[in-house]
Amino acid sequence: MTPVVSETFPLADAGRALAAVRDGTVLGRVAVAVSAAGGAP
């Protein structure tokens, strides 16, 4: 199977990630990218 994590948001945009989940505008899961290794600025 293929995990569906369709989009990542930087930590500072965690609120936008929540809103996207609330509004159903994203596909599958989204994730907050927190550390430098995770891709956040």
What are the φ and ψ backbone dihedral angles of 32, each rounded to 5 degrees?
A: -90, 125
Least Å from the CB of residue 16 to another protein: 9
- The footprint of another protein on residues 10-39 (CB under 8 A) is 11-12, 14-15, 17-18, 20-22, 24, 27-35, 37-39
Interface with another protein includes 1 (CB under 8 A)?
yes
Distance of CA 3 to the CA centre of its chain: 13
Closest CA to 39 of 12, 21, 4, 1: 12
Which two three-digit tokens encode residue 14? 């965690």
Interface with another protein includes 41 (CB under 8 A)?
no
Interface with another protein (CB under 8 A): 1-5, 8-9, 11-12, 14-15, 17-18, 20-22, 24, 27-35, 37-39
